[in-house]
């Protein structure tokens, strides 16, 4: 992905007149990567903050104006940004349409490989608070049994929580994955009733002091998850 990004930036620089490239990303992760590749040749803004509800991002008018004048939009792709379609419809610029000249979808050509640190836990069952970890789970060979909030943004009913914790006990789910934005009170009830351990994974660069860069973000999340699995044995 870094190689593709570097190639795009090199190709875009002459067309932009040799000045600083104005680039918009959909996450602080991508912002950090673009800045690492582009250095002083780029000015980058992320539409999404480091911590946010994974399915909803409130884009400000100033950010829309920045996007309209940007040379490039860098996005995660796949189904990671369900909110982006509304933003692009508002901007109404064909340059940012999928495959357009100003669109960089970093998911293209990605080949998910097996983990090192989480390899001993391949096939382990987990429950997630939000259904926002399918690619992470596939990358590391985890099995997502259920989500605490099966419908994003809709709090679970007492009946659904009781059913969930019973399933977790039956399946011997050792870990409950939550995000910093998750309702901790609900998560604690699920963990207490099921016996699972809570592990908080950070969703974006800057969401934790130890997640200062993209690589550091994954190192932190993988380490936290491995520690939780080890403690649950």
Instruction: Write out pLDDT tens, residues 7-34.
Output: 666 655 555 556 788 999 999 999 999 9
Residues 226 and 125 in one domain: yes
Residues 136 and 39 in one domain: no
121's CB contacts (< 8 A; 6+ apart) are 140, 141, 142, 225, 226, 229
**What global pTM score does this model have?**
0.61
pLDDT at 82: 82
- Domain residue limits at 24: 2-105
pLDDT in tens, 95-134: 998 888 899 988 776 654 434 788 889 999 999 999 889 8
Q: How many CA atoms lie within 13 A of 3 on its CB side?
A: 3
| CATH code (residue 80) | 3.40.50.1980
Whether 213 shows a pLDDT value over 70: the answer reads yes
Residues 155 and 65 in one domain: no
Specify if 111 maps to a domain.
no
pLDDT at 77: 81
Query: What's 26's DSSP letter?
Result: S
d(CA 187, CA 147): 11
């Amino acid at each position: 992905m870094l190689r593709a990004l570097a190639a795009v930036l090199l190709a875009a620089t002459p067309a932009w007149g040799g000045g600083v490239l104005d680039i918009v990303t959909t996450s602080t992760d991508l912002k950090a990567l673009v800045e690492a590749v582009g250095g002083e040749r780029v000015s980058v803004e992320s539409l999404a903050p480091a911590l946010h509800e994974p399915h909803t991002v409130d884009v400000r008018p100033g950010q829309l104006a920045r996007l309209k004048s940007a040379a490039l939009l860098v996005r995660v792709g796949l189904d990671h940004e369900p909110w982006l379609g509304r933003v692009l419809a508002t901007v109404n610029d064909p340059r940012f349409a999928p495959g357009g000249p100003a669109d960089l979808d970093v998911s293209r050509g990605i080949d998910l490989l097996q983990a090192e640190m989480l390899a001993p836990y391949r096939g382990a069952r987990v429950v997630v608070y939000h259904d926002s970890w399918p690619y992470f789970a596939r990358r590391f060979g985890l099995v997502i049994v259920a989500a605490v909030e099966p419908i994003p943004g809709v709090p679970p009913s007492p009946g659904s929580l009781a059913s969930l914790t019973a399933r977790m006990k039956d399946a011997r789910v050792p870990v409950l994955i939550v995000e910093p934005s998750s309702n901790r009170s609900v998560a604690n009830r699920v963990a207490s009733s099921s016996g699972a351990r809570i592990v908080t994974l950070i969703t974006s660069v800057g969401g934790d002091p130890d997640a200062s860069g993209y690589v550091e973000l994954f190192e932190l999340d993988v380490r936290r998850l491995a520690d939780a699995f080890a403690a649950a044995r």
